[in-house]
Amino acid sequence: MKPVKVGICGLGTVGSGTFNVLKRNAEEIARRAGRGIEVAQIAQRRPNPHCDTGSTPITADVLAVADNPEIDVVVELIGGYTLARELVLRAIANGKHVVTANKALIAVHGNEIFAKAREQGVIVAFEASVAGGIPVIKALREGLAANRINWVAGIINGTGNFILSEMREKGRTFPDVLAEAQALGYAEADPTFDVEGIDAAHKLTILASIAFGIPLQFDKAYTEGITRLTTADVGYAEALGYRIKHLGVARSTAQGIELRVHPTLIPADRLIANVNGVMNAVMVNGDAVGSTLFYGAGAGREPTASAVVADLVDVVRAMTSDPENRVPHLAFQPDALSDHPVLPIESCESAYYLRIQAKDHPGVLAQVASILSARGINIESIMQKEAEEHDGLVPMILITHRVTERHMVEAITALEALDDVIGDVVRIRVEHLN
Ligand code: HSE
């Protein structure tokens, strides 16, 4: 049988990895797919020293790949929203299947892209868009199809996890670690996407959609970055038996879906709390299966290529099948998506870590406890340190039981209004993941 012809758009980190894996493992891949997969065209702006493209035709124009009648599958690896959207929609309009690693594109324009793909009867595959080489989309969409998913929680940004791990383990500074992540090709073109949680929110939006059968709703995701975390809080969290991770949480509740990315204390004895460096991990809790954990490299040249090539194999296997009988893009049949709302952050519920800087006076702790108890906030543990030498203030650290964000915000406002409390109260959410 003739090989399937693929056009790779973008020969950066992931594009070069995809080309190299397809070439190196060509025979093994053809045995799995049932046909060879040939790269028939590459769109690239500049040569990549990690990739010897040999005699493969090259163009500088990505849209030429979408218009090339020879090409069966367009692999979109250029990133970003605008040109990538145009490329993917053009490829779909031309009846081509698409494989993409672009989480921003899927999270923001996925509903439109999948609707067009259904009209044309083509596949849009996006395994590499979430957690790099970990096949978590396939697991969630197919392997866990029996379950009502209760929650998904993941470390889904390698750069952020690398930064937090290096800061905790080696005391390195934030800019120093970020520069290394950029040099290694892990970070986004705009690294604020990594450290402010936007990249993780793109990925969480995709996971939530597949987990709960809801349309993609990136605009409703809550994001909070890691830039304001201090080594003091990392240390106090450790002392209380927790690690701080930048976690994406999607939880189904009776009121709606929680969709939030923020720094989070996790008990140090959880496996996921021990996921370090650029590694990613996603926990999925289903009513039948219980908790599962998917772990692996969340970024990087060949780990991400592994997911892109697996999608290509899937496309080759399914391209001759009846479009109605393929696995739906978002796991649930498109006419069966639910309108269960995504909740605003004020309605989300979690436990909290609070750090209060207080004057060393009798009765301060009693005032703090009274403010919390008046709002039904139960304290799980409390730690009070010696007064700081430079200002005489006492750091008071509390972990609370679960409470709605709205009540916690009210309590923090009341705490900050106390004469004996100085400055802002630091609050970090806590998830026990049990
Ligand atoms: N910037 C992303 C990360 C790349 O650090 O995880 C993979 O999506």
Q: Which atom of ligand 1 is nearest to the CA of 203?
A: 8
How high is the pLDDT of residue 379? 96
Question: pLDDT band for position 383 (50/70/90)?
Answer: very high
pLDDT mean over 166-173: 86
Identify whether the C-beta of residue 136 lies closer than 8 Å to the C-beta of residue 111.
no
* Of 133-142, 223-232, 314-323, minimum mean pLDDT range: 223-232
Please give the Cα distance from 328 to 141 (Å, whole number). 9
pLDDT above 70: percentage of residues in the chain: 100
Please report the pLDDT score of residue 112 as a whole number.
98
Q: Which atom of ligand 1 is nearest to the CA of 200?
A: 6
| Nearest CA owner, ligand 1 atom 8 | 299
Ligand 1 centre distance from Cα of residue 406 (Å): 32
- CB of 89 within 8 A of CB of 116? yes
If you average pLDDT over residues 226-255, what whole number do you get? 94
> For 416-434, what is each residue's pLDDT tens digit?
999 999 999 999 999 999 8
Global pTM value:
0.97
Mean pLDDT rounded to a whole number for the chain: 96
Looking at ligand 1, which atom is closest to the CA of residue 156?
6
What is the best residue among 199, 276, 278 to mutate for testing ligand 1's pocket, by most ligand atoms within 8 Å of CB? 199
Ligand 1 pocket, residue 114 CB under 6 Å = no
Residues 183-194, mean pLDDT to the nearest whole number: 89
pLDDT, tens digit, 9 for 90 and up, residues 25-50: 999 999 999 999 999 999 998 889 99
Does the structure show a pLDDT above 80 at 389? Answer: no
Q: What are phi and psi of 362, to 5 degrees?
A: -65, 145
pLDDT of residue 18: 98
Residues 136-144 have a mean pLDDT of 98
pLDDT of 219 > 90? The answer is: yes
Which atom of ligand 1 lies nearest, measured to the CA of 159? Answer: 5
Average pLDDT for 302-331: 97
Task: Please tell me the distance from the alpha carbon of residue 107 to that of residue 202, in angstroms, as a whole number.
Answer: 5
Q: Does the pLDDT at position 388 exceed 90?
A: no
In the structure, what pLDDT confidence band is assigned to residue 369 with cuts at 50, 70 and 90?
very high
pLDDT tens readout for residues 7-19? 999 999 999 999 9
* pLDDT band per the 50, 70, 90 thresholds, residue 171: confident
Question: Which of 203, 245, 359, 385 does the annotation list as catalytic?
Answer: 203
Structure confidence at residue 172 as a pLDDT band (50, 70, 90)? confident
Give the residue, 366 or 388, on which the prediction is more confident. Answer: 366
264 CB near ligand 1 (under 6 Å): no
Question: ∠322-327-332 over CA atoms, to 5°?
Answer: 125
58 Cα: distance to centroid of ligand 1 (angstroms): 27
Residue 392 has pLDDT above 90, yes or no: no
**Probe ligand 1: pick from 162, 163, 164, 186, max atoms within 8 Å of CB?**
186
Q: Mean pLDDT lowest for which of 4-13, 46-55, 123-132, 254-263?
A: 46-55
Clarify whether 170 is annotated catalytic.
no
**Confidence band (pLDDT; 50, 70, 90) for 181?**
confident
pLDDT band, very low/low/confident/very high, at 109 (cuts 50, 70, 90): very high
Higher pLDDT, 290 or 299: 290
| pLDDT in the model for residue 184 | 84
